[in-house]
Amino acid sequence: MPEKFAQLLAQDFTDLDAATAAWKRLATTLGRTKTGSGGRVTGPLHEAGWTGVSASYGFDALRATESKLGTGQVNARLISTVLDTLHTRMAAAQRTLRNAVADAEAAGHKVAADGWVEPKTAVDPRHRHDPEYAEIQRRANSGLGEFRARIEQAVTEAETASYRAGEILHQIDPFDLGKQYGADNARKDAALVAEFTGLSEKDIPDGKSPRRSARWWAALDEDVRDFYLAAFPERIGALDGLPAGTRDLANRAVLDMRLNDYDLRENGLGHHDRSSYRALLDLKSRMDATDSGAAHKRMYLLGFSTESDGRAIVAIGNPDTARHTAVLVPGTNSQLENFGGQIDRVNKLQNAAGDRSVGKGRDVSVIAWLGYNAPEYNNSIVTQERALAGAPDLRDFTHGLRAGHEGAPTHLTVLAHSYGSTTAGAADAGGRGLDADDMVVVGSPGLTVGRAEQLHIDPRHLWVGAASNDHISNHASGLTLGPDPKDPGFGAQRMYVDTGGHSGYWDDGSLSLENQGRIIAGKDPRDGGLG
């Protein structure tokens, strides 16, 4: 203990502070470089429509480079976290040691250069034959063992922290950037760092309460947030109630890891994985293309999954700051493979709302929410099972939008198409509802309830649009999914549409699209008689 005692007692942490700060700066720089590559290189190339064999190889190389930057960012963040935690624990051990030494000396003991606390002499040694001499000495040195234990504990705690930090730092390779294994290694290293810092994945909320999740995140300091983002992106990206920008960062990191995995196994992918691979590549390309454009057209990846038919949640525009926010719930046969069509629809809806909003679209965010397992063209479309299963997730999502919004409450509209309206109806009927200001359903086969008043939404703000030749609205409603919502007896408001079929509600230049945009912007829809 002699050398360690003296070293800890006089330890100067200036160099450790500087190293921690340097690694933090490197992590920040790598993150900004990755984002900059997407916004200033990959995005513009996608937006310019670069195609062909060269484009394919070029985008693969860019994706690999950006992935490596992301892995480097995670590793640098992990190293800075280890150093920061080491500093905290070493400084605490030093305070404990100095306090123990000061207390021992104040009690009259001498602390030797090797840290040994010497007993003090209470009476003149010449009286050592006095019958009470031993007792007097014992009482005078009653705290001796405690002082020695405190000093030993302080040195041991410092040694343990230093040794464990060294072990972890030895394992983390900051330049372990190979896309085939770097991301996986970084995730394994993150588990070790979490254990060392005491920041456990178990501390992340279970997601059952968006407001609780929002409060948890708001209470964390920036360094802790950065660590959770780096170490557990899947969990952070899935939490309703967290800022959209935070979830986007987390989910894009997970997307990169998933694409890297597919890249590694590309020659051996089965049909499902190959379909998911193509769908995720398309999703990433679409997001990259908006990174260099107008801020209100930027896409935010709020969730995705490749399980079963796949799921995805993408916002155009930041819902945390939007004056008007809309959520589109798609219907039958919606899946990750054709999710690009939902993105096209919400883009049209944002444009339609933007033409009528004060901010001309800059204050509007529209979200494509495929957060449930939409039915296929089979018997699943005639039961409420999928709708009831997806309803709680849709409720959590809309309440999460409320919890994460900045400033005055947003005007929230839920739009739903086909079986998506059944899911939206089930969601608004249950729990505390969707907390929406307006709801628009088009091509609906039923909302799971008998009358509009059984929903949480004010029936005066429940809008139903149905084309005259929509086969789903005309022939599937009033059966197993609930009464026909366009029936006057249901109690909803009719929204005029001028389009045909089951999927024409987003046709360019149509009143069907314009009216949805008007409702998103907080205005009443137009009647067909107004032209």
Question: Could you tell me which residue, 190 or 153, shows the higher pLDDT?
Answer: 153
Read off the pTM.
0.86
pLDDT at 73 over 80: yes
Q: Which of 21-30, 108-117, 300-309 is predicted least confidently?
A: 108-117
Question: What is the three-class DSSP state of 197?
Answer: helix
How much is the average pLDDT of 36-48? 82
Average pLDDT over the chain reads: 90
State the Cα–Cα distance between residues 207 and 194, nearest whole angstrom.
20
Confidence category of residue 179, pLDDT binned at 50, 70, 90 = low
- For 53-108, give the DSSP string: HHHHHHHHHHHHHHHHHHHHHHHHHHHHHHHHHHHHHHHHHHHHHHHHHHHHHHTT
Asked if pLDDT for residue 451 goes beyond 60, the answer is yes
Residue 373 has pLDDT above 90, yes or no: yes
What integer is the mean pLDDT of 28-56? 85
- The pLDDT of residue 126: 54
**pLDDT (0 to 100) of residue 429:** 98
Q: pLDDT higher for 299 or 44?
A: 299
CB atoms within 10 A of CB 219: 8
Rounded average pLDDT over 413-431: 98
pLDDT of residue 135: 65
Quick one: average pLDDT of 309-321? 97
Give the mean pLDDT of 474-497.
Answer: 93
Average pLDDT over residues 452-476: 95
In this predicted structure, which of 106-115, 177-186, 202-211, 451-460 has the lowest mean pLDDT?
177-186
**Per-domain residue ranges of the chain:** 2-198, 294-530
Q: Which amino acid is at 118?
A: E
Residue 231 has pLDDT above 90, yes or no: no
Does the pLDDT at position 142 exceed 60? yes
Q: How confident is residue 530, by pLDDT bands cut at 50, 70 and 90?
A: very low
Pick the more confident residue, 370 or 149: 370
Architecture of 294-530 per CATH? 3-Layer(aba) Sandwich (3.40)
Q: Rounded mean pLDDT of 389-415?
A: 97
Q: How many H-runs (helices) and E-runs (strands) does the chain carry?
A: 17, 10
The Cα angle at residue 200 between residues 67 and 184, in degrees rounded to 5: 25
Say if residue 275's pLDDT is above 70: yes
pLDDT tens sequence across 212-230: 999 999 999 998 998 899 8
Looking at 265-338, list the stretches that DSSP marks H as alpha helix, in order from N- to C-terminal side: 271-291
Is 317 a residue whose pLDDT tops 50? Answer: yes
Q: What is the mean pLDDT of residues 136-161?
A: 82
**Strand 324-329 relative to strand 364-370, pairing:** parallel
- Mean pLDDT along residues 457-474: 95
User: Which pLDDT band, with edges at 50, 70 and 90, does 250 fall under?
Assistant: very high
- Grade residue 265 by pLDDT with cuts at 50, 70 and 90: confident
pLDDT for position 128: 58
CA distances from 239 to 246, 290, 399, 436, 522 (A): 10, 24, 11, 20, 28
pLDDT for the residue numbered 531: 39
